[in-house]
Amino acid sequence: MVSLKAVRAHNTSLKALSPNLVAVFVGGTSGIGLSTAREFVRNTQSPHVYLIGRNSSEASRIISELQTLNSSSKLSFIQSDTSLLKNVDVACEEIKSKESKVNLLFMTIGQMTTQGYNPTSEGLDKKLTLHYYARTRFTTNLLPLLTSAAQSSDANARLSRVVSVLDPKLGRNDIPNFSDLALKNGTFSLKSCATHASAMISFSHEHLAAAYPGTAFVHSYPSGVPTNISRDLGPVLKGVFAVAKPLLNHWMVPLVESGERHLYASTAPEFAPRNLTKDVEHVARGGDEVSGSGAYVLNWDDEVLGESKKAEGVRKDGAVDKVWRHTEEVFGKVQSEGKY
Ligand SMILES: NC(=O)c1ccc[n+]([C@@H]2O[C@H](COP(=O)([O-])OP(=O)(O)OC[C@H]3O[C@@H](n4cnc5c(N)ncnc54)[C@H](OP(=O)(O)O)[C@@H]3O)[C@@H](O)[C@H]2O)c1
């Protein structure tokens, strides 16, 4: 466990980084995304922060608050329903038209729902899209800007990191169905959706860390955090949640602490990209157990999660390539035919 004291000392030291870092918070209008954006704005000089979500009135309120927290910050909101990949592309084009680099891509879009298979007009389940396809589309679209950040001539502006907050444990403790990764052929269940999103994030990060050695990739488990995540549940479950919340709060990670810990995960040198590991004294073990692999899997307390036998087994059987080939096939089809 990284102590909260060490997390806070590291976060305070971020003021020494160069000004004008650019961070994109996909899901920055609520919960862990917002809490981490708040810590990023508090601890960096003249940051430019993009918040992406659907709720524009909440975004206006947040922008005023963050501006007060750090008057040198520049804050932008992009309103987008990111459950459609074509909308993700539009949001990324807006960022690309305004920025020459992105230092941090931080993603928390998602929903808690008991609804079954729910395909969007692009033929992909909505929840699986928010948790995997849309996040990966943001990543591939913005990788040129993340690479630009990694290649900065200023060593204090070379932060280049992608952080996806979901739950890496699910994909390590279960085996995805590689013959139906999109869960379109009758194999959808809430459990398989969770396993597939989790495993596909981790394995795609391993592929991307090798292909883009200047950028680091983190998949983190936040533990229970008191946020608005239950908003899409039906009235009965929402009621149960509301009653249980005060009791559960005792075991949950406080929202502010989660933001502080995720800022650490987003910036700490131990989670270095592959080509910077020689500069780091104590580089972390990657999700594949290789030190400094550039793709890290973290628990809520910023501790690296160990490998599981199941993940090790499917990796040996080519899981990384299978997931990446599938992702490219989905993106190609949606781009050319509008639908997978
Ligand atoms: N909180 C927990 O205890 C917990 C535990 C384990 C895993 N997680 C995972 O961690 C992630 C973050 O959770 P959280 O608790 O921070 O959730 P949250 O408070 O509900 O925040 C989710 C964010 O996603 C955005 N979003 C949802 N659907 C969207 C859509 N269709 N288009 C664009 N933006 C959308 C929301 O923005 P708008 O409302 O503005 O659209 C919001 O900013 C989720 O993936 C969740 O599954 C959370």
CA quadruple 316, 317, 323, 324: dihedral sign: positive
pLDDT tens column, 286-324:
999 999 999 999 999 999 998 899 999 999 999 999 999
Are the CB atoms for 22 and 102 separated by under 8 Å?
Answer: yes
Distance 166 CA to ligand 1 centre (A): 9
Distance 264 CA to ligand 1 centre (A): 20
What is the C-alpha to C-alpha distance for residues 109 and 227, in angstroms, rounded to an integer?
13
Burial letters 54-79, b for 16+ CB under 10 A, else e: eeeebbeebbeebeeebeebebbbbe
What is the C-alpha to C-alpha distance for residues 95 and 131, in angstroms, rounded to an integer?
21
- The three-point CA angle 67-302-217 to 5° equals 75
What is the C-alpha to C-alpha distance for residues 222 and 217, in angstroms, rounded to an integer?
16
Verify whether ligand 1 is closer than 6 Å to residue 32 (CB atom).
Answer: yes
Q: Report pLDDT for 232.
A: 76
Verify whether ligand 1 is closer than 6 Å to residue 35 (CB atom).
Answer: no
Distance 105 CA to ligand 1 centre (A): 15
Q: Report pLDDT for 279.
A: 85
Look at ligand 1, atom 44, and give the residue with the nearest C-alpha.
Answer: 110
Distance 154 CA to ligand 1 centre (A): 34
Verify whether ligand 1 is closer than 6 Å to residue 103 (CB atom).
Answer: no
Per domain, the residue ranges of the chain are 4-229+255-337
% of the chain with per-residue pLDDT over 70: 100
Distance 229 CA to ligand 1 centre (A): 6
What is the C-alpha to C-alpha distance for residues 198 and 168, in angstroms, rounded to an integer?
5
At residue 253, the 3 state secondary structure works out as coil
Closest-lying ligand 1 atom to the alpha carbon of residue 59: 40
Q: Report pLDDT for 295.
A: 98
Query: Which residue type does 133 have?
Result: Y
Look at ligand 1, atom 3, and give the residue with the nearest C-alpha.
Answer: 224
Q: Which DSSP symbol is given to 125?
A: B
Q: Domain 4-229+255-337 adopts which CATH fold?
A: Rossmann fold (3.40.50)
Give 43's strand partners.
Answer: none
Q: Report pLDDT for 82.
A: 98
What is the C-alpha to C-alpha distance for residues 207 and 209, in angstroms, rounded to an integer?
6
Pocket of ligand 1, candidates 201, 229, 238: which has the most ligand atoms within 8 Å of its Cβ, to mutate?
A: 229
Verify whether ligand 1 is closer than 6 Å to residue 214 (CB atom).
Answer: no
Verify whether ligand 1 is closer than 6 Å to residue 33 (CB atom).
Answer: yes
Are the CB atoms for 101 and 23 separated by under 8 Å?
Answer: no
Q: Report pLDDT for 234.
A: 77
Gap between the terminal Cα atoms of the chain:
42
Distance 55 CA to ligand 1 centre (A): 12
Distance 230 CA to ligand 1 centre (A): 9
Q: Report pLDDT for 191.
A: 96
pLDDT tens column, 212-236:
999 999 999 999 999 988 777 778 7
The tens place of each residue's pLDDT in the chain, 340 residues long, gives 999 999 999 999 999 999 999 999 999 999 999 999 999 999 999 999 999 999 999 999 999 999 999 999 999 999 999 999 999 999 999 999 999 999 999 999 998 888 899 999 999 999 999 999 999 999 999 999 999 999 999 999 999 999 999 999 999 999 999 999 999 998 999 999 999 999 999 999 999 999 999 999 999 999 999 998 877 777 877 788 778 777 788 889 999 999 999 999 999 999 999 999 988 999 999 999 999 999 999 999 999 998 899 999 999 999 999 999 999 999 999 999 999 9
Question: What pTM was computed for the model?
Answer: 0.97
What is the C-alpha to C-alpha distance for residues 51 and 78, in angstroms, rounded to an integer?
6
Closest-lying ligand 1 atom to the alpha carbon of residue 252: 3
Q: Which DSSP symbol is given to 99?
A: -
Distance 236 CA to ligand 1 centre (A): 20
What is the C-alpha to C-alpha distance for residues 256 and 260, in angstroms, rounded to an integer?
6
Verify whether ligand 1 is closer than 6 Å to residue 30 (CB atom).
Answer: yes
